[in-house]
Amino acid sequence: MWFRRRWCTVGHRPSWIVNDRYEWVWVYIAVTPNSGKCCCLLLPYVDTICLDRFLAPMREEWPDERIGVVLDGSGSHRGDKVAWPQGIVPLPLPPDSPEVDPAEQFFRHLRTFSGMCANGWQTASSRRSTK
């Protein structure tokens, strides 16, 4: 906890106790490139236990498929603690190679799209202000 000031009448500024807490959630997602079908879970951590929890429903979603899971160098992806279900194959990426990581490509496109939306909004706002 820490103290934050709040707006009050002139000369009177009582402290206001603030307890900022954040809860994080991590998106685990697998997508088939051909059909776009996906398996998605929201989990509380990025660790080996959550990766194991994600691999089981992914195996259920595609029971007869051989699945390659592309992994970056995260600590939760490495080691002998991950229980890889039969038919799911880890495909580790080389170190320091974000250009071949499919997730990075997704975020690159997302940043481009968000930039287009922001530019469109600015253009629309300037058109309204000139009328």
Q: N- to C-terminal Cα distance for the chain?
A: 49
* Model pTM score: 0.60
**Contact by Cβ (8 Å): 44, 24:** yes
Give me the amino acid identity at 18. V
52 token code pair? 């194991």
Does any domain span residue 56? no
Host domain of residue 125: 96-131
Query: Do the beta carbons of residue 59 and residue 88 sit within 8 Å?
Result: yes
Could you report the per-residue pLDDT of 46-75, keeping only the tens digit for each? 888 899 999 999 999 899 989 988 887 777
11-57 pLDDT, tens digit each: 766 666 666 677 788 888 888 878 878 888 899 988 888 999 999 99
Residues above pLDDT 90, as percent of the chain = 13
The answer to whether residue 104 is domain-embedded is yes
Q: What is the DSSP letter of 120?
A: H
Q: What's the CA gap between 125 and 120, in Å, rounded? A: 9
78 found inside a domain: no
* Structural domains of the chain, count: 1
Residue 16 lies in a domain: no
**121 within a domain of the structure (yes/no):** yes
Domain presence at residue 47: no
